[in-house]
């Protein structure tokens, strides 16, 4: 239905030989998918072309007013060599929600799927196969009008680039230390917290540097109004396992609705876990730690799947969670979800899209 012309590169790059050294987001494949948009015309010229730089006018809207959105997902190689995606249409649907809020045009999800599929066919050999590795996929949309006036651009570019990425956990699930940011906030209700837009990340960089300086790997954001309620961490949603419930903050507009978050909620419920989406203050968490009610805490996101929290610092106090180790439920959710993503476990939810 969608005919995507493919121009293959005449100069393929050497592929990384040692998959244990892939890291994240530094190596890019041979091709990219592009389509362009003009007001009144819609999306046009969907194509797969050799990977390479864009030429941009210095006055381009995206460079000044950050009219930009992106997505993040992965392509997994199964043991039988085949490739598969995890809930990719949910990523494109979320991109459309981001687009609406940022005054940008929506994409046709099936056209984006056709473009992604054509790209992955061209770059199939770039999907690594060592355990825990994957091909990270970055769909992006930028405003390309050349003008300094502040209004919605009339032209846009949507593109997808891919980067082979290493195993997030080289030596098994490793708990992280997290710093609760007491002052700076990431997003407010009515703002753009629920969108995947670059500006949200730009605004988080200072807090990240402060946390790192204090010896913590990630920042936990509190709500922008009262500075009490737990929102999310860096690029992950948060879960707290209390004795009687697995609790995660509700999607009220200021946090990003993670696809991993949604998958964890559904998976945990299918395991008989009582999952509650409700607001939780950082004081609640510290109290529960003291009373022994807090058993586990972890972040969820595409990159790490789940990331156990071993230490949590708030103002001048630090608590240790699960004895600084990985909790049983955290491990079980990680094993089950990655098992589905790599095609080693059954997929009762219909989340996987096989490419062959």
Please list the alpha-helical segments (H only) found in the chain.
61-65, 88-101, 109-122, 198-202, 205-213, 259-270, 282-291, 328-341
Among 236, 246, 304, 313, binds ligand PLP (CB under 6 A): 236
Listed ranges 150-158, 256-264, 287-295, 330-338: which one lies at the site for ligand PLP (CB under 6 A) = 256-264
CA distances, 340 to each of 16, 78, 131, 346 (Å): 26, 10, 14, 6
Question: Cβ of residue 284: shortest distance to ligand PLP, in angstroms?
Answer: 21
Cα Rg of the chain, angstroms? 21
258 binds ligand PLP, rule: CB under 6 A: yes
Q: Which residue is nearest to ligand PLP (CB)?
A: 258
Question: Cβ of residue 45: shortest distance to ligand PLP, in angstroms?
Answer: 28
Q: Which residue is listed with tokens 């007013």?
A: 65
Contacts with ligand PLP: how many residues (CB under 6 A)?
Answer: 14
259 binds ligand PLP, rule: CB under 6 A: yes
Give the residue among 158, 134, 144 at the shortest CA–CA distance from 55.
Answer: 144
Among 29, 140, 235, 330, binds ligand PLP (CB under 6 A): 235
Distance CA 129, CA 19 (A): 8
Instruction: Give the number of residues written for the chain.
Output: 356
- Written as one string, the DSSP assignment of 283-307 is HHHHHHHHHT-EEEEEEEETTTEEE
Among 232, 284, 295, 296, binds ligand PLP (CB under 6 A): 232
Give the residue among 211, 217, 237, 212 at the shortest CA–CA distance from 298.
Answer: 237
Listed ranges 31-39, 54-62, 128-136, 255-263: which one lies at the site for ligand PLP (CB under 6 A) = 255-263
By beta-carbon proximity to ligand PLP, the closer residue of 83 and 259 is: 259
Sign of CA dihedral 262, 263, 265, 269: positive
302 binds ligand PLP, rule: CB under 6 A: yes
77 binds ligand PLP, rule: CB under 6 A: no
237 binds ligand PLP, rule: CB under 6 A: yes
289 binds ligand PLP, rule: CB under 6 A: no
261 binds ligand PLP, rule: CB under 6 A: yes
219 binds ligand PLP, rule: CB under 6 A: no
The DSSP code for 98 is: H
Residues forming contacts to ligand PLP in the complex (CB under 6 A) are 72, 196, 232, 235-237, 256, 258-261, 300-302
């Amino acid at each position: 239905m969608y005919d995507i012309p493919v121009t293959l590169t005449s100069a393929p790059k050497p592929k990384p030989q040692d998959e244990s050294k892939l890291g994240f987001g530094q190596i890019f494949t041979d091709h990219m998918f592009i389509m362009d948009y003009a007001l009144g015309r819609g999306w046009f010229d969907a194509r797969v072309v050799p990977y390479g730089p864009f030429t941009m006018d210095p006055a381009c809207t995206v460079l000044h007013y950050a009219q930009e959105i992106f997505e993040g997902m992965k392509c997994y190689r199964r043991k039988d060599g085949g490739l598969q995606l995890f809930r990719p249409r949910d990523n494109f649907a979320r991109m459309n929600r981001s687009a609406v809020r940022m005054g940008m045009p929506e994409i046709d999800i099936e056209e984006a799927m056709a473009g992604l599929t054509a790209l992955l066919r061209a770059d199939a050999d770039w999907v690594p196969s060592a355990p825990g590795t994957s091909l990270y996929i970055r769909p992006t949309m930028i405003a390309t009008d050349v003008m300094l006036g502040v209004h919605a651009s009339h032209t846009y570019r949507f593109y997808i680039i891919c980067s082979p990425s290493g195993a997030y956990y080289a030596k098994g699930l490793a708990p992280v230390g997290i710093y609760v940011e007491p002052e700076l906030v990431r997003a407010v209700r009515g703002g753009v917290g629920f969108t995947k837009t670059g500006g949200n990340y730009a605004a988080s960089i200072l807090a990240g540097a402060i946390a790192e300086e204090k010896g913590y790997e990630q920042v936990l954001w509190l709500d922008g109004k009262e500075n009490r309620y737990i929102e999310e961490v860096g690029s992950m949603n948060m879960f707290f396992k209390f004795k009687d419930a697995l609790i995660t903050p509700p999607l009220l507009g200021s946090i990003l609705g993670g696809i991993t978050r949604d998958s964890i909620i559904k998976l945990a419920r299918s395991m008989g876990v009582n999952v509650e989406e409700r607001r939780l203050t950082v004081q609640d968490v510290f109290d529960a730690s003291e009373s022994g009610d807090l058993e586990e805490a972890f972040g969820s996101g595409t990159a790490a799947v789940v990331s156990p929290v071993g230490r949590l610092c708030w103002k001048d106090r630090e608590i240790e969670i699960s004895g600084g180790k990985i909790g049983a439920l955290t491990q079980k959710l990680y094993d089950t979800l990655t098992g589905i993503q790599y095609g080693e476990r059954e997929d009762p939810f219909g989340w996987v899209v096989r490419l062959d």
